Amino acid sequence: MKKQFHIVVIIALLSILSFAIISDYDGMILINAQRQTIDLDNNNDNTNTIKFEKIPFKQVRVGDIDIAYNTSGNGNPILLIMGYSGSKNDWDPTFLDGLSANHKVIIFDNRGVSNSTLGTKDYTINQLAEDVVGLLNVLNISKVDVLGYSMGGMIAQQLTLEHKDRVDDLILYATHCGTIDQTYNPPQKLLEQFGNLSGTPADIKQRFVPYQFPNSWINEHRPSYDQIFASLTLPPANILEKQKEALFKWISPGTCDRLSQISQDTLVIVGTADKIIPSINSEIFKDKIKGAEVETFVGGGHALMFQFPERLSEEINKFLDK
């Protein structure tokens, strides 16, 4: 059982390391944009949506931290929760633009990441979910659609279970429910590869990056892949360590045994070529969350938003606007 626990822990870390490998993808544009004077909170012109890469981030005080966030678009709000090591800068910009055509999209940095401060509270998945509630309170949003990616999907599950009245529709993308004996494992060789954090950042990139996309996609889209690879900037080691510890604590018991308590309309996004979170894990959500829908992207990897940004935004818009 101890060996199995270690394997599942690696799976969880693996499932959320995805955006460590695409950190800062077009991200500095957002930071440099602070010099501009755009105020999206007052932008109510549906015909003139401002693209995310031109929006300056804002900071608000939430409990013991300052949270950095961006908004764009109009309509019902949707909050996007990023995964392990990722920041608000790491969402695919084409995907964000498509989503903001129908909705007010809110992206933010988890505590300790990029432009959000670390604070003094314990770093746990539960606390990250409470940070989301605090952000919603400051933004005066009583209820919101929520999308969680990878570790962000774990935070989204926790948020929905603990604050049911704050979540409207729920979207779980490339994630799992964490419970030790209910999560499907990737191949042992891949677990060993991702469990190896030795060497330089360049060494780690060489081991991690190829697993985010199908080999066929890498070969057919080499310039895009090379750009993603070259843009990697890992966050400080102390933040990675805190997030890792948060995952260790969350995995057991996880949320698999509580999923039936989720009554929100739920969409599960999976890629058939996800090497990190096997797509069969989506069946757990479908079986345990009443009425949950699964949208499968044939050939999609863990970072499928970069492979299918237009389709992903279209499917989510269709789900939310049904």
Nearest to 182 by CA among 290, 281, 293: 281
Q: What is the pLDDT of residue 195?
A: 60
Quick one: tokens of 52? 């995310």
Q: What is the pLDDT of residue 23?
A: 39
Q: Write out pLDDT tens, residues 200-230.
A: 667 766 777 788 899 999 999 999 888 878 7
Whole-angstrom distance, CA of residue 130 vs CA of residue 312: 27
Q: Which residues of the chain are under the pLDDT cut of 70? A: 1-51, 53, 191, 193-197, 200-201, 204-205, 232-234
What does the CA dihedral 256, 258, 262, 265 come to, rounded to 10 degrees?
A: 10
Whole-angstrom distance, CA of residue 173 vs CA of residue 312: 10
**How large is the greatest C-alpha to C-alpha distance in the chain, in angstroms?**
56
Q: Which residues neighbour 118 within 8 Å (Cβ) at sequence distance 6 or greater?
A: 65, 111, 112, 239, 242
Give the Å distances, CA to CA, from 45 to 40, 48, 69: 10, 5, 20
**Domain boundaries 2-321, corresponding CATH code:** 3.40.50.1820
CA dihedral for 211, 214, 217, 218, sign (positive or negative): positive
DSSP-assigned letters across all residues of 296-318: EETT--TTGGGTSHHHHHHHHHH
Q: What is the pLDDT of residue 30?
A: 31
Q: Write out pLDDT tens, residues 227-238.
A: 878 776 667 778
Whole-angstrom distance, CA of residue 273 vs CA of residue 26: 25
Quick one: tokens of 71? 């908004």
**What is the residue extent of each domain of the chain?**
2-321
